[in-house]
Amino acid sequence: MKSFDAIVIGGGQAGPFLAARMVEKGMKVALIERKFLGGTCVNAGCMPTKTLVASARAAYVARNSAVYGVNIPGEIAIDMKVVRARAETVTMNARNGLIGWFAGMDGMTVIYGHARFEDPKTVSVNGETLTAPRIFLNVGARPVIPDLPGINDIDYLTSTSIIHLDTLPRHLAVIGGSYIGLEFAQMYRRFGAEVSVIEHGPKLASREDEDISDAIADVLRSEGIDIHTGVSDIAFARSSDGITVATDSARIDASHVLIATGRKPNTDDLGLDAAGVISDKHGYITVDDTLATNVDGIWALGDCNGHGAFTHTSYNDFEIAAANLLDGADRKLSSRILAYALYIDPPLGRVGMTEKQARASGRKIMISTRPMSRVGRANERGETKGFMKVIADAETKKILGAAILGIEGDEVIHGIIDVMNAGTTYPALQWSVPIHPTVSELIPTVLGDLKPV
């Protein structure tokens, strides 16, 4: 049996950085990764997909260049092999960077293999047994494949496999109208494929307010994406030239099908029962406000604990654990204000409560909206789709939440994120003097228009 000061299972966006911090403190650490260092973000998520989004936007801008007085003769052609290779290069650079970083770190042992608990202090991997007083789980999540009629008879894609396509689909059917599905839908439409989005719920991006959801649908429809919501029945069958997707309201002749119906944690084969670690009915590991499980000496970080399926929330889990365990701090998971983005174009930046959540909280609230067509930068760039929305508490004057669907919305939202984390009131931001011409300069104007509802 090999002994360590700590064992980290999973090489995503929390575990490796925590392992590195512990090594800096003189600890002996084993980092066990089943497949690739970097987790979903590096290998099948943020980095490759946003690289693909950038290629798709380049195609979109080129096709619409005449609006800006730039004439490109001939048809805009897409070389999907180059598109794929570019995304793969970004992934490999990041992955190899991690490999090189850990290789030069005394006290770090990287092991590739499938780890399972033998007891609360012991795991087995590749036929070896390892023990440590502290074990950290950062095992991530994977796509959910729903049990739909005919799904096992077709060759479907997931968010993991679609990034390796080096040919352009004739017609991509996206099953699921949430964040992952919508990003791929717009991306492949801009590459030149016909695209249909099929969503079981009544609206796209169901987490958002109805006005945001409707605006997202308008953006996608304006680019020729076929959207079906409220679909109760879906079935698949092979056809002579692809896949037939039959719903209760439509029949789609697709060449490719992307299943984007959610993700589930990679916790079902860790041997959690042997360690006594509790998880919920969906497989998410139950943690307290410090990310500790019910078993002393075991923590769960990142997607597998169900408190945020984002790279930045996973990294923040690392920050919380490291601060508390290594720096004597008292940071809490409950202090985190959730923010995220939807990377369609224009992007959606989101933080805090939706209007629906704010109303349900019983607070007296104020709301303000402003169309992006009123933003100078948006008009100058010819990108006026979307709008800004801010919700505030009428009594405390603190911002409860915001949504910015529009040009640079994923960046502009950070001004509001900062104010909310600082705990200050919205007038402090309202009377700032932003730079002109920017998208952010409209934030004080939006705040000045807050009205009780």
The confidence band for 276, taking pLDDT boundaries of 50, 70 and 90, is very high
Q: How far apart are the first and last CA of the chain?
A: 64
Angle (deg, nearest 10), helices 15-24 and 311-326: 30
Question: What is the average per-residue pLDDT within 75-88?
Answer: 97
Beta strands at 171-175 and 194-198: parallel, antiparallel or unpaired: parallel
Q: Which whole number is the average pLDDT over 34-47?
A: 95
DSSP-assigned beta bridge partners for residue 238: 243
Work out whether strand 134-137 and strand 141-143 pair parallel, antiparallel, or are unpaired: unpaired
List of residues 6+ apart from 37 with CB closer than 8 A: 11, 16, 95, 98, 99, 102, 110
206: tokens are 């169901």
How confident is the model at residue 195, as a pLDDT? Answer: 98
If you ran DSSP here, which 8-state letter would residue 303 be given?
G
Q: Which two tokens stand for residue 450?
A: 């807050």
CA angle 102, 107, 108 (to 5 degrees): 35
Q: Determine the Cα–Cα distance for residues 253 and 244; give it in Å rounded to an integer.
A: 5
pLDDT (tens digit per residue) in 178-189: 999 999 999 999
The predicted model gives 271-290 an average pLDDT of 98
Q: Name the helix (H) or strand (E) containing 39.
A: helix 39-43
pLDDT grade, residue 21 (50/70/90)?
Answer: very high
Share of the chain above pLDDT 90, in %: 99
Give the separation between CA 391 and CA 232, rounded to whole angstroms. Answer: 33
Angle at 145 between CA 139 and CA 147, to 5 degrees: 140
Q: Which residues are catalytic?
A: 436
pLDDT confidence band for 28 (50 / 70 / 90): very high
How far is Cα 272 from Cα 260, in angstroms, rounded to an integer?
A: 27
Upstream peptide bond of 346 is cis (omega within 30 degrees of 0): yes
Q: Contact 428/419 with Cβ under 8 angstroms?
A: yes
d(CA 295, CA 358): 35
**CB 143, CB 226: distance < 8 Å:** no
The contacts of residue 163 (CB under 8 Å, 6+ apart) are: 44, 48, 49, 52, 84, 87
CA angle 151, 155, 158 (to 5 degrees): 85
What the chain holds in terms of domains, given with CATH numbers, is: 2-142+264-335 (3.50.50.60), 151-261 (3.50.50.60), 339-452 (3.30.390.30)
pLDDT one-digit tens code per residue, 131-173:
999 999 999 999 999 999 999 999 999 999 999 999 999 999 9
> Tens of pLDDT along 398-432?
999 999 999 999 999 999 999 999 999 999 999 89
Instruction: Using the Cα atoms of residue 344, residue 345, residue 347 and residue 348 in order, give the sign of their dihedral.
Output: negative
Dihedral sign (CA 395, 429, 411, 322): negative
pLDDT at 304 over 90: yes
Which is nearest to 57 in space by CA: 379, 388, 408, 442? 408
pLDDT number for residue 249: 87
Averaged pLDDT score across all residues of the chain: 97
The CA distance from 134 to 297, in Å, is: 5
pLDDT band of residue 381 (cuts 50, 70, 90) is very high
Q: What is the pLDDT of residues 51-72, one digit of tens each?
A: 999 999 999 999 999 999 999 9
Q: What is residue 366's predicted lDDT score, i.e. its pLDDT?
A: 98
Rg (the chain; Cα; Å): 24
Residue written as token pair 């909206």 = 369
Each residue of 210-224: pLDDT tens digit?
Answer: 999 999 999 999 999
- Is residue 194 over pLDDT 90? yes
Task: Look at the alpha carbons of 221, 222, 223, 224 in this order and tell me if their dihedral is positive or negative.
Answer: positive
Give the pairing of strands 263-265 and 141-143: antiparallel
